[in-house]
Structure formats: C-alpha cells, structure tokens
C-alpha cells in the first residue's frame, strides 16, 4: 500500500516542490475528512483517493487534477461544503471536486430518461473543464480494479455502465490505456466464464506461437539495423474484450483472430515512420487495401500511426503499427498526454483542439436536442466514430462517422448549408442525398435560397449534428406555421363578428391568456393552428366584456354575420395543413377542413364519407376554398381497366409522363385472362391538369374505363 510520501517522491519527476506540497496538503485534508470511514474491503477510505491520484500521475496530470483526485469524495461523503474547499484550495480545485461529485451522484439503475439526464450532466461538466472527466475516469478505473468486494448484481451493473459509457469516452479522448483496461475489467465482471475461456485460450496460443513470434520480431529488428533506422520493435498484445468483440461482431473463429501476429515499431520522428514502412514492405509483401495512414489524417481523437498488414513467414498475416514516441504517448494517454492548463495563452495542439471541437459539438447537440434521450442517442453515435474521411471541393478534409451521407456532410460543413441543401455531387457526379459516403470521396453540396430540411432525411442521417438540426428546424417551422394558421383561423371567425384581432383591447387579450394558462399570444395562436383550441371558442371569449371593466350591464356578444368568407388554401402552408389520404383533394375540388388535435388541419373533399360523423361539429369542421394562386403537386388515385396487350403498361406510363404528371405508385391486378385493372397514384397540379391526363389515358388503344378513386 502506497503512502503519501512515496507518492510525493514520484511526483518530483515532473512537478514543482510547491505544487507537490499542495497535493500533500489535499491528501492530509482528505485523510482527516474521511477519518473513521472504510471501504467495502475494510481498508481506510483515504486509500481510494490516493490510488485515483496515482492513476492520474501515470498520465502526468497537473497538480490541480491530483488535488481534486485526493478530495473528490469529500463534498459527497463527509458533508464538507464546496465553499470550505474554495477557501482552502482555491476556486479551480473546488470546481473540479464539485464537478466530479455531481458525476458520482449519477445513478444508472434508474429509467432511461434519468440515465440520459445524467449523461447530459457528464457531457456538460466535460465541456466546462475536461479535467473533471479525467478525474472521474481515474476514479472509475480504481473502482473497477476493486470490484471484487461488491455483490454480483451490483458488479454487473457497474461493469455494463463502464462498457457503455466510460470506455467509449476514454477512447474518444484518445486514452487507449484506460479504454482497454476498462473493457477488459468490464468484460471480466459482466461475463466471467467467457472471459476465463478466452484468457486460457490466449495463454495456450501464445505459448504455441512463441518461437515464430520471436523469429518475426528478430527479422524486423535486424531490418531496422540494416537500413540504419533508429527504432525498437515490440510484440503487441490483443486485449480480451477486443478478441471477444471480433468473434461476436465479425463472426470470426478464435483461431482466425489469433493467427494474426501484431507488432509495433516505435521510431524517432514522422519522417522515419514512412522510411520504416518502405523497409517492412520490402521485407514482406503487403496485403492490398489494408494500409492506413493516420499520420497524414489523424483520427478524430488525435490518434496518429501508420497501419499495414503483411504476408509474413509461412504466409501468416502480420499487423504492424509504426509511430513515434510522442504518438505512442498520445495513443496511450490521449488528451492527458500534453497537459495545457499551465497557461491560458498557449495554443492548443492538434489533439486538444480536436477534443475542444468535439466538446463544442457536444454542447451544440445539447442545445438543439428536444430532450435528454434525443441528446444521449446523438452523443452515443458520436462516441463510436468509425470514421470516413471526405474532401470538400477546396481539398479540406472532414471526418465523419462510418455510414454518413451527403446530408451529414452538409451539416458538418455548416448548419446553414445543411438546412438549404437540395442536391449533391460526389466525385463530380450527381448522387442521391441518402447514399453512404466512402473515404476519399470529394463531396460538393448544392444549395438553394429558401430551401428547407426534408423530414425524410431523418430516416437516413447518421450524425447527431444533422439529426439535431433537422429536428430543431422542423419543430421551429411547425411552430411558426401553426401560429400563422391559428391567426388566419381566428381572424376568419372574428371577421364574421365584424371585428379583428387588432380591435380587441389588450386587457381582454391578457385575461384570456391568463385563463388559458399561457403567457404569449403566439402560444394561443399556435394552439389554434394545431387544433388544440377552437378558434370560435377563443373568439367568443375575446369578445366577451369583462364586468369589472364597466359598471353598465354586460352586453351580449353579437351573433356572426352571414357574410363569412371561406378560408383560402394556398398549398404552401407546410407541416400544419395536410391533405387526407382517404379522398385525396386537389385544387378545384369542393373542400372542407377538419381540425385534428395536435396535428393541425386535415383537408378532405366535401363529400368524403370519413367526415359524415364530424360534419355536424361546426367548431371542428370549416368550409374552405382554394386560393387562386394555389401551388404544388397533389396526389390522386386512379383505377384504369384495360385489355391485355403487349406493352400496354409502358404506353400508359409514357402517356402520364407526357402529360407532365408523375407516378408515385402503380399496381396491376389481373381480373381475368382478358382484362387487367391498374391502380395508379399520380401527382397533378389541379382538376384541369387531371382532366387533361384522363383524356390522354382514354385515348390509348385498349383502355376500357378510367375512374378517380375516392374513399
């Protein structure tokens, strides 16, 4: 068991004496605060904070992080307030301890919603000061190393949480050493039997292959000496959870995974990495398509290395990673490798800048997300980035998760480009917006002023940024459209009482808003537009005179006059007006609107059977007319009966295209050996366009009857 003095000696290698004294002071404060408390194992509680500080010292973390590690359970477990820590150790350390305490209160046993909110807290704490999460990761690692003292059910719960949340965060911050240990410890606690089986099999396989492994290692080492390349070669251990995931995810047998021999070559500088790569390729033949250059294009978490796979002796595959000492340090300790809190003015190096960028993205997701579940869904996608690298037309490289589409790319470039995107070119050719992108492609986004995100994009976008922005835009758009429709509906009713909204005194408006439990008139109008409140009822309440206002008798509200004009439909109202699929109304048809709660207005044909029961409800059903400038395409369902002839369906499709209409759906049903019935869903502009289309179809040889289907 380590003591504080041994620990202080160890810190002498990279901290100043006064900084070490502050860490020592924090330890003694924690020891006093936790006096009398023990861990499940029976040890004094203070051994835990000291062990957490040891883990951070391995990563050469700054003295404030080490002090926070010593004190991280003081607020929660001993009742000492944050103010007391601020007085003793300064605001920064107190903030760090407070941040870690809040994360410690996270309880993942609760329902998904609560788990998501906790995860949100963690992301925000990280965004404020990344050291909070590093102390939390070290705390979790020591808890995982000492899981043995807990009940099996609690062990499994903590292990599951570690594999789902903490290991990916460590990986995302580039701290490979923590990530692999989390995975192996979590695997051991979650699946003890599977873990033991794989561990035993790995031990046996390693013993059998020792001779061949040494031969390859020697041949690589002597190659470096021959070529005058400074570097050392070492065998690379495969961790148990990685083997298990490959066996499960890639459906590979254990022998297939263990037949690959893995090595790492550490050299002095980036230039030597490429020279070493050339040398190993001349020694063994490389596998085609298996070379990756993460030095020129680092991973999102800052990881840099050259990866290649070779055919070694006796044809066995050899995986080799080539990197510098600095890259090795960065791969193991990630964001903690070069601690930059010494000076606020220091320019962030590439790794820190990338992490800051990611955390900025996390904060953006937090602001855009409708709720915490949506937020966790988006961040989880960004935590597991199997990247593709895409080029902008100007040659800039963008990193995106695997499976990303041009729409994801558009939002990654800029939110406004995503929102106004209408098409794209991939490698200079027009391509669908839903097509998954491949590394190395050049993508150009075509935008148009006034274009809007399409709700259908949500079915194929991958990144949290794209998903969050599309949802945010549609929610905002729906809200503003429901306000506009609500205003039109209320004005229409008020006009029938020979008044308008502007003529109603402000106190009356405020009184109605108070009665409805709303603050703004916009909220009331949005409710009317969404069908949650009736425009007629709201109008009556606005027109009633408040008895407090005048001492005279309350006059009756006038009855509506008969000059009421129907509301005109333009076809561009957006998300709050929809056209009923049962009768498919088109411009020119007599129409009525039905206000459906929460959905807005659904437009039906006047004689639609589905409205038979609702027609008497004058508050929910209102007469409409088509605006003279109505625009857009409208769906119509047609039934065409025709004689069997070779190529008749192709002729039918051609006639529809020539008539400037488009086919959404077509199905053919054979009535008997002589007659076929074709059901078509086509898009037309209005009734005139429909009649021209029907005339053209009738002119076809073999068409017996054509009917427009309603209900």
Instruction: Kindly name the residue from 76, 117, 199, 444 that is annotated as catalytic.
Output: 76
Instruction: Kindly name the residue from 31, 43, 58, 77 that is annotated as catalytic.
Output: 77
DSSP code of 455? G
CA angle 165–168–172, rounded 5-degree value: 130
Measured in Å, how far apart are the chain's first and last C-alpha atoms? 80
The pLDDT of residue 549 is 46
Would you list the DSSP string of 622-668?
Answer: EEEEE-TT--S-EEEEEEEEEE--TTHHHHHHHHHHHTT-EEEEEEE
Q: Residue 253: helix, strand or coil by DSSP?
A: coil
Residue the block writes with tokens 């429909």: 690
- Is residue 465 within 8 Å of 417, Cβ to Cβ? no
* pLDDT means over runs of 10, the chain (711 residues): 82 90 93 88 89 91 92 85 91 88 57 58 67 89 87 88 84 84 93 90 79 87 92 84 84 75 91 93 89 84 87 83 88 64 41 63 65 62 65 81 91 91 91 87 90 87 87 82 83 81 83 83 84 79 56 46 65 74 90 81 88 73 84 89 85 89 87 85 91 92 89 69
- Domain-wise residue ranges, the chain: 4-193, 194-336, 472-626, 634-708
Given 3.30.70.260, 3.90.1150.10, 1.20.1090.10, 3.30.230.10, which CATH number is that of 634-708? 3.30.70.260
The pLDDT of residue 242 is 85
Measured distance CA(79)–CA(71) in Å, rounded: 12
| 76 labelled catalytic | yes
3-state helix, strand, coil in the chain (%, to 5): 50, 15, 30
CATH 3.30.460.10 for the 194-336 domain, yes or no:
yes
Tokens of 231: 């570097």
Measured distance CA(162)–CA(182) in Å, rounded: 7
Q: Are strands 600-605 and 577-579 parallel, antiparallel or unpaired?
A: parallel
Q: Show the beta-strand stretches assigned E in 427-490.
A: 429-431, 443-447
The pLDDT of residue 646 is 82
The pLDDT of residue 532 is 78
DSSP code of 250? S
CATH topology classification for 4-193: Hypothetical protein af1432 (1.10.3210)
- Is residue 678 within 8 Å of 666, Cβ to Cβ? yes
Residue the block writes with tokens 């229409």: 492
| 77 labelled catalytic | yes
């Amino acid at each position: 068991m380590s003591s504080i003095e041994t620990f202080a000696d160890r810190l002498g290698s990279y901290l100043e004496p006064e900084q070490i004294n502050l860490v020592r002071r924090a330890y003694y404060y924690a020891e006093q605060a936790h006096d009398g408390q023990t861990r499940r194992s029976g040890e004094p509680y203070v051994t835990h904070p000291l062990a957490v500080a040891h883990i951070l010292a391995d990563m050469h973390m700054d003295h404030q992080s080490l002090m926070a590690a010593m004190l991280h359970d003081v607020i929660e477990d001993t009742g000492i307030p944050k103010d007391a820590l601020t007085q003793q150790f300064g605001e920064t350390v107190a903030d760090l301890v407070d941040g870690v305490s809040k994360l410690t209160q996270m309880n993942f046993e609760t329902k998904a919603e609560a788990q998501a909110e906790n995860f949100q807290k963690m992301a925000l704490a990280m965004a404020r000061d990344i050291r909070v999460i590093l102390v939390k990761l070290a705390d979790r690692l020591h808890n995982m190393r000492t899981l043995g003292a807990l009940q099996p059910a609690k062990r499994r719960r903590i292990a599951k949480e570690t594999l789902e949340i903490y290991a990916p965060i460590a990986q995302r911050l580039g701290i490979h050493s923590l990530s692999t240990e989390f995975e192996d410890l979590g695997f051991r606690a979650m699946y003890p039997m599977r873990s033991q089986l794989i561990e035993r099999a790995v031990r046996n396989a390693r013993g059998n292959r020792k001779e061949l492994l040494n031969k390859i290692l020697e041949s690589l080492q002597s190659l470096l000496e021959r070529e005058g390349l400074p570097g050392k070669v070492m065998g690379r251990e495969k961790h148990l959870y990685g083997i298990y995931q490959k066996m499960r995810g890639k459906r590979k047998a254990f022998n297939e995974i263990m037949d690959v021999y893995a090595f790492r070559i550490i050299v002095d500088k980036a230039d030597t990495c490429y020279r070493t790569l050339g040398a190993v390729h001349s020694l063994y033949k490389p596998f085609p398509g298996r070379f990756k250059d993460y030095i020129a294009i680092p991973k999102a978490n800052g990881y840099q290395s050259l990866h290649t796979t070779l055919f070694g002796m006796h044809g066995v595959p050899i995986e080799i990673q080539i990197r510098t000492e600095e890259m090795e340090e960065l791969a193991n300790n990630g964001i903690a490798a070069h601690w930059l809190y010494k000076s606020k003015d220091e320019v962030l190096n590439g790794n820190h800048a990338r992490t800051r960028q990611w955390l900025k993205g996390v904060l953006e997701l937090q602001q855009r997300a409708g709720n915490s579940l949506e937020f966790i869904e988006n961040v989880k996608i960004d935590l597991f980035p199997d990247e593709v690298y895409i080029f902008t037309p100007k040659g800039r490289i963008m990193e995106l998760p695997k499976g990303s589409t041009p729409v994801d790319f558009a939002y990654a470039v800029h939110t406004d480009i995503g929102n106004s995107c209408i098409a794209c070119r991939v490698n200079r050719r027009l391509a669908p917006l839903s097509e998954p992108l491949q590394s190395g492609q050049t993508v150009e986004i075509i935008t148009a002023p006034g274009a809007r995100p399409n709700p259908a994009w949500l079915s194929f976008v991958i990144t949290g940024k794209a998903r969050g922005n599309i949802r945010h835009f549609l929610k905002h758009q729906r809200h503003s459209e429901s306000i506009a429709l609500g205003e039109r509906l209320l004005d229409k009713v008020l006009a029938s009482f020979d008044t308008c909204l502007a003529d109603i005194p402000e106190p009356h408006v405020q009184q109605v808003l108070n009665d409805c439990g709303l603050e703004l008139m916009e909220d009331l109008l949005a409710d009317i537009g969404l069908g949650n409140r009736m425009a007629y009822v709201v109008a009556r309440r606005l027109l009633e005179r408040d008895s407090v206002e005048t001492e005279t008798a309350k006059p009756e509200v006038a009855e509506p006059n008969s000059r009421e004009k129907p509301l005109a439909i333009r076809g561009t109202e957006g998300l709050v007006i929809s056209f009923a699929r049962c009768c498919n109304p088109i411009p020119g048809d007599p129409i009525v609107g039905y206000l459906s709660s929460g959905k807005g207005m659904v437009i039906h044909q006047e004689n639609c059977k589905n409205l038979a029961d609702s027609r008497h409800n004058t508050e929910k059903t209102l007469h409409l007319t088509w605006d003279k400038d109505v625009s857009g395409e409208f769906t119509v369902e047609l039934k065409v009966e025709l004689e069997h002839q070779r190529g008749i369906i192709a002729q039918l499709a051609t006639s529809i295209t020539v008539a400037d209409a488009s086919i959404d759906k077509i199905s053919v049903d054979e009535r008997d050996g002589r007659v076929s019935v074709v059901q078509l869903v086509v898009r037309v502009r209005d009734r005139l366009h429909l009649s021209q289309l029907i005339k053209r179809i009738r002119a076809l040889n073999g068409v017996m009857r054509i009917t427009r289907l309603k209900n």
